[in-house]
Amino acid sequence: MDVDATRIDDPVLAQEVADFTHDCYGPSRAKLFMNRPTLSDEQMNDVTWIGSSYFLDTPGFYDTYRAKTPRTAWPYDATRDAGLAQVDSGGGYPSCRQWWADGGQGLRSRLLAQVDPDLLTRIGRWAGFLSQSEVNDSVIRAVVSPRQQKMNQGAVYTDYGGQIDKTLPNIVTRGASDLGLTVGSLGFFPAMDVVRQALPMVLTMLKMALVICIPLVLLIGTYDLKTVVTVSCVQFALFFVDFWFQLARWIDSTILDALYGWGFGADRPHTNFDPLIGLNNAFGDMLLNFVMAMMFIVLPTFWVMALAWAGVRTGNIVQGLSTATSDAKGAGGRGAGMAMSAVSKK
């Protein structure tokens, strides 16, 4: 809770963190993706934050990239900064390694100064399996993560819930909604899991029905060109629904990793020391799972609507998906209720 409450109070320092991310971490991570080196599990977790020791120690990353704007803490060096503009302040353009790790003026040491020393000591005593330097890096990593910045008040997701500065009624409302999410998930998640299993089966049947209907529709339409084009578009739209299912499945499988980094899940506390273990945003993650479950229906529906904008009337082919899976969804949702009822009786 103390780490979660820690903020970068100095707005200039917060902006410098953003500048470092833009000038150093972003290009280094892009280069890593282009080179695709073989990394261990520990290294894959390490490269997910701006103070990565891999980027600091591996040639071609933080030793190559530099600040794109002058920094007064590092005076202009004619050798190091040759060809770059000199400014009245006398600031130079340090390499990313210097910018992050240089003594008391480096970004790491100034971020560490934002944390209560007593908190670092207490965490160090608790996490005796880590050195004090590793503890410091873990706390800095938590402080500079996007969810810790004031812009989104410590959450990974920005939303329009409540007021900008939450009042007590807003907090009570949020607590009630979180409780509702928890209870609702007991029936919703099993129901949507059944729907996601049934969707490919239903889609296959719809494709079969369309192929059977095509010659009859063309014959009744007297092989009119408009009929041929419409049927072709309907067939393309139906077969392309597979893509939206795969996209929703991929996003659902990777979005939490994209937000938190590699190794998110039950094993994360063993691969990455996280004082909060992800619990500070658990209800936001649960809400995200609700949204992602619905994307299997929403994305194909939006696709059919988009075709209608272009004047292609494909009919409500997605309604068939919803109708065909509704009974399965209801049966799957009742399973959790039956289990809870049996437990309560016992």
Which has the higher per-residue pLDDT, 286 or 324?
A: 286
In a domain, 304, yes or no: yes
Residues 57 and 202 in one domain: no
> What is the Cα–Cα distance from 150 to 173, expressed in whole angstroms?
21
User: What mean pLDDT comes out for the span 75-82?
Assistant: 88
> What is the Cα–Cα distance from 145 to 18, expressed in whole angstroms?
11
CA neighbor of 303 nearest in space, from 255, 242, 252: 242
* Residue where a domain terminates, one of 152, 177, 198: 152
* Residue where a domain terminates, one of 124, 152, 180: 152
In a domain, 294, yes or no: yes
CA neighbor of 332 nearest in space, from 207, 176, 199, 206: 199
CA angle 308, 312, 316 (to 5 degrees): 60
> What is the Cα–Cα distance from 90 to 70, expressed in whole angstroms?
8
Residues 242 and 272 in one domain: yes
CA neighbor of 107 nearest in space, from 80, 67, 78, 65: 67
Residues 144 and 219 in one domain: no
Residues 20 and 104 in one domain: yes
Residues 147 and 172 in one domain: no
> What is the Cα–Cα distance from 141 to 137, expressed in whole angstroms?
6
- How many domains, in total, are found in the chain? 2
Which has the higher per-residue pLDDT, 171 or 334?
A: 171
* Residue where a domain terminates, one of 100, 123, 152: 152
Tens-digit pLDDT profile for residues 126-156: 777 777 777 777 888 777 776 555 433 445 5
> What is the Cα–Cα distance from 302 to 113, expressed in whole angstroms?
49
Tens-digit pLDDT profile for residues 83-99: 888 888 888 999 999 99
Block residue for tokens 């649960």 = 286
Residue 326 identity: S
Residue pair 253/127 in contact (Cβ under 8 Å)? The answer is no
Residues 143 and 216 in one domain: no
* pLDDT value of residue 265: 42
Does residue 248 carry a pLDDT above 70?
yes
In a domain, 341, yes or no: yes
* pLDDT value of residue 319: 64
* pLDDT value of residue 338: 61
In a domain, 89, yes or no: yes
Report the C-alpha dihedral over residues 206, 212, 215, 219, rounded to 10 degrees.
Answer: -90
In a domain, 254, yes or no: yes
Which has the higher per-residue pLDDT, 97 or 174?
A: 97
CA neighbor of 307 nearest in space, from 297, 317, 322, 295: 317
Residues 207 and 319 in one domain: yes
CB atoms closer than 10 angstroms to residue 60: 12
Residues 139 and 287 in one domain: no
Residues 15 and 77 in one domain: yes
> What is the Cα–Cα distance from 295 to 201, expressed in whole angstroms?
18
Tens-digit pLDDT profile for residues 188-210: 778 778 878 888 888 888 889 88
Residue pair 293/184 in contact (Cβ under 8 Å)? The answer is no
Range of the domain at 184: 168-345
Residues 312 and 245 in one domain: yes
Residue pair 146/157 in contact (Cβ under 8 Å)? The answer is no
Report the C-alpha dihedral over residues 55, 57, 58, 59, rounded to 10 degrees.
Answer: 110
Token pair, residue 182, equals 């928890």
Beta strand ranges found along the chain (DSSP E):
71-75, 91-92
Residue pair 61/55 in contact (Cβ under 8 Å)? The answer is yes
In a domain, 163, yes or no: no
Token pair, residue 154, equals 């410590």
Widest distance between CA atoms in the chain:
83
In a domain, 161, yes or no: no
* pLDDT value of residue 278: 47
CA neighbor of 114 nearest in space, from 274, 15, 7, 5: 7
Residue pair 302/30 in contact (Cβ under 8 Å)? The answer is no
In a domain, 119, yes or no: yes
Residues 119 and 86 in one domain: yes
Residues 211 and 122 in one domain: no
